[in-house]
Amino acid sequence: MADEAIRVKVVCRVRPLNEKERASGDASIVNFPSPSCVALGQRMYTYDHVFQPVSTQVEVYTTSARPLVKDVLSGYNATIFAYGQTASGKTHTMEVYADHSLYRTVCSV
């Protein structure tokens, strides 16, 4: 926050297909024309950043949360809000895996 004016950033994460979806032969209908756009058919949606299904938890954290963690530790307020329909990937994005790689990344701030 010290480097930027106060603003809201909106990012989109498209989760990978889950095991059930892959087993039933489902395919993704999402295209990524640029690092900040998602296309569904003829409709384009623009965000501050788009994370594709191959994005790692560490990439999402480093780009989206780490700057906010630093700001909070400097005394500023920050909020991360995960929004989406059921099974859209909120838990997939927010959970910490058993190897604690995200935990180690957070602790490195």
Annotated binding site for ATP: 84-91
- DSSP per-residue string spanning the chain: -TTS-S----EEEPPPP-HHHHHTT----EEEEETTEEEETTEEEE-SEEE-TT--HHHHIIIIIHHHHHHHHTT---------STTSSHHHHH---TT-HHHHHHHT-
Q: Which residues are annotated as a binding site?
A: 84-91
Q: Which two tokens stand for residue 33?
A: 């024309």
